[in-house]
Homo-oligomer: A and B are copies of this chain.
Amino acid sequence: MRSMILKAALRIFREKGYDGVNMRNIAEAIEYSPATLYLYFKDKNELYFALQFEAAAAKREHLLPAMQIEDPWQRLIDFGRRYIDFGFKHPDLYDLLFITRAPMEHIENQECWLLGIATHKFFVDTVQACIDQRYFKSTDAETIAYTLWCHAHGMVSLFIRERMRMYPEEKRLELAAKSFAMIVRMAESL
A157: interface (CB < 8 Å): yes
A146 and B108 CA atoms in complex are apart in Å by: 32
Contact with B along A141-154 (1 / 0, CB 8 A): 01110110111111
Tell which of A7-15, A21-29, A160-168 binds the partner. A160-168
How many chain copies does the complex carry?
2
Q: Are A108 and B165 in contact (CB under 8 A)?
A: yes
Complex interface residues of chain A between 160 and 187 (CB less than 8 A to chain B): 161-163, 165-166, 175, 178-179, 182-183, 185-187
Q: Are B107 and A165 in contact (CB under 8 A)?
A: yes
Closest to A174 in B: B143
Return the contact of A151 from the options B117, B151, B189 (Cβ within 8 A). B151
The A contact surface, by secondary structure, is helix
A44: interface (CB < 8 Å): no
A140: interface (CB < 8 Å): yes
Contact with B along A38-58 (1 / 0, CB 8 A): 000000000000000000000
20 inter-chain pairs at a CB distance below 8 angstroms, sorted by A residue, are A98-B158, A98-B161, A99-B157, A99-B161, A120-B166, A144-B182, A147-B182, A149-B154, A153-B157, A153-B158, A153-B163, A154-B154, A154-B155, A157-B157, A182-B190, A185-B190, A186-B186, A186-B187, A186-B189, A189-B189
Having A153-B154, A154-B154, one finds 11 other A-B pairs with CB under 8 Å, namely A98-B158, A143-B179, A143-B182, A144-B182, A146-B175, A150-B151, A150-B179, A152-B154, A153-B157, A186-B189, A189-B189
Chain A residues in contact with chain B, CB under 8 A?
98-101, 104, 107-108, 113, 117, 120, 138, 140, 142-144, 146-147, 149-155, 157-158, 161-163, 165-166, 175, 178-179, 182-183, 185-187, 189-190
